[in-house]
Chain A
């Protein structure tokens, strides 16, 4: 990392008009990072949603300190849902390994499982909502309720977005014609996996926040 920082300063202090610098610059490939654009794009999206969730968390922390804060119960079902997310992430690690080893049968099989788990998770979240509403914890009841519904909705929407990408991934791994397509498919699987791990991390933070406040 320190090397990176140093090179940022080096970069910004270059004098592009000087011939010595020009000689170096002429060799430049035109890329800032040694990374595929897809991966960079995914990082961009993860940064934006991290900022968004962070801002929510800041407002949550700001609101929590008031004395009219009423905690929400954590239904047992939420634990099960969390477990489902953990399991899908574990499966995705297996998929990543299998994809590296070109074991596409396994990749296909377990990718389908991922989709099923995601849908079960979403249904599970809806069930939690139903339980909450039946128990009288409406969204307008208290700020904690409000945040619970906001967090679960946003997380769910992120997962739905992920499912769209998952469909694209499935399409790709089912049609593996030549080596270029295979490389692209492996790449897609990789990105999909990173996103799933990211969603698990977000969920752990949000769930932890609601649990320990």
Chain B
């Protein structure tokens, strides 16, 4: 009796916790409502299964408690019932998988015209690079990195000259503009994750990974590193600030391009090749 009650309580208690607990996702700030909806759908389907199995187990324990004058049924198998359950389960699984794959398809298909931004992770800080006026991110190579060139820009690539380099943990984005984040890591794995945007992807040294999203409301959102990256992992934080056009432009105007940074450091001769090529363009 008490065991049946326990099972009942655990089942219903889990449902109650789900309905009334204050811990829930924060309001979404990107276009990935589809992910939230798939999660909700998963909750409905799996929740129903969980409750059904819990209640049935509790019922069995209560109803078929040991009685030495009674015998259990002798039924080695029941193919009909088992196939029925298999098919029901398969339908449930398809109902979960299909919407999930549709959302994933959107997630990996970057829309044309998405604004390309580079996010660089290193132990234990973030850096960002915007493509500048020409709208193209210049090429980079990790072997170029030194004190003057912390992004590892290729010094003979003219497209890199107007790239805006931001060596800070905070990034501003424009509301309602789709962005594609090109993710790069200098040392170990990192992961650029903002809970409100829902999306995340690891940054892997030696390759460029990406994901895209559209911020849909203004505000300040905390960046968390989501892939363990060493002792300072927990402190690898920052902010994404989603702005309206006006504020965004103001912030943008305060940032410096690669060319300007090199000039202000008196190192313009290092990017001579790129400057020459730029004149040829």
Contacts and interface: CB of A to CB of B under 8 A. Distances in A.
A20 B77 CA distance: 17
A58 B229 CA distance: 28
Residues of B in contact with A, size category: under 10
A15 B77 CA distance: 10
Nearest to B77: A15
Nearest to A15: B76
Nearest to B76: A17
Interface in B66-104: 76-77
Interface residues of A, number: 2
Contacts of A15: 76-77
Contacts of A17: 76
Nearest to A16: B76
Interface string A1-42: 000000000000001010000000000000000000000000
Contacts of B76: 15, 17
A17 B77 CA distance: 10
Contacts of B77: 15
Nearest to A18: B76
A15 B79 CA distance: 12
A44 to B, nearest CB: 33
Interface string A172-195: 000000000000000000000000
A56 to B, nearest CB: 21
A15 B76 CA distance: 9
B250 to A, nearest CB: 45
Nearest to A17: B76
A195 to B, nearest CB: 40
A18 to B, nearest CB: 8
A17 B76 CA distance: 7
B78 to A, nearest CB: 13
A182 B76 CA distance: 50
Nearest to B74: A17
A17 B75 CA distance: 10
B11 to A, nearest CB: 33
A15 B75 CA distance: 12
A17 B74 CA distance: 11
B73 to A, nearest CB: 13
B116 to A, nearest CB: 25
B77 to A, nearest CB: 8
Interface string B165-184: 00000000000000000000
A15 B78 CA distance: 12
A164 B77 CA distance: 51
3 interchain residue pairs of minimum CB distance: A17-B76, A15-B76, A15-B77
3 contacts: A15-B76, A15-B77, A17-B76
